[in-house]
Amino acid sequence: IGSAVNIYTLEGTEGDIVHHTGTFNGINYDMLEVKPSETTFVKMDYMGHAEWLSDIYDWGLLSEGYVRAGGINANYYSWHTNPNVGQPVGGLRMAGKWTYFWDDPNIPEYGSGYCTAYWDRTGNMKLVYSGEDINGGGWVGEKVESENALSGSYTYIVDGQRKDLTGGAGFYAYHYNDYAFSCLAQKEDGTYYLISFWNGMRDEKVQDFLLDLDVYNAIRLDGGTSTSMCYETDVVKEAE
């Protein structure tokens, strides 16, 4: 995979991180629920090239005493265009700066059908469809400053409502195929859900699932064989 959304918690503290597993509409899923705090947070990680999810994490944070508690796959990435195989699609931001694939910046693109999620260690995630116009002409739409950002595909939930910010511009097959996929969601109180669905599901059913959780914002991430989740069983609690 090209990048990861990871959860970190300070070693020796009790992070509020719970693993859920279940079935919805006949589809199995795994979900990590995390409530951010002074010692537990969600961030983007990227190694500059494709890696297994288990190998995508922030070495610097580990040296500071943090534990990567868990994570899921994040950006879509180019898999068919040399020499850019492995390049994230759209925006990928870490530590307040856009990242690079070799010499190319990983920035959002407008007109591509890929929305971008922005967030900091604290506060709520913001979903925006903006970026460099794929047809030229510079930046279109809102610019957002944040510590982390990633471009997924279309949005499921925006401000508590069923809404696709791309207006249907997202790649049509994502709406109808039977591929597994991941999703990043957040409640209005700041609680994050990192979700992997292990087969395809109609958009309206995904929205039903998310609204049952009182999700406020949610974006679709990469899927297919990229769909991945990992977590540390000695750090993450199992749902009762």
pLDDT at residue 60, rounded to an integer? 97
**Looking at residue 232, what is its pLDDT?**
94
> Does pLDDT of 170 surpass 80?
no
The answer to whether 34 touches 17, Cβ cutoff 8 Å, is yes
Dump pLDDT digits (tens) for 37-96.
999 999 999 998 888 999 999 999 999 999 999 999 999 887 655 556 678 899 999 999
Residue 173's H or E segment, with its range, is helix 173-176
Cα–Cα–Cα angle for 205, 154, 19, nearest 5°? 55
**Is the predicted pLDDT of residue 171 greater than 60, yes or no?**
no
Which one-letter DSSP state was computed for residue 167? Answer: T
User: How many CB atoms are closer than 10 A to CB 80?
Assistant: 6
Q: Which sign, positive or negative, has the C-alpha torsion 114, 98, 53, 72?
A: negative
* Higher-scoring residue by pLDDT: 35, 177: 35
**pTM exceeds cut of 0.85:** yes
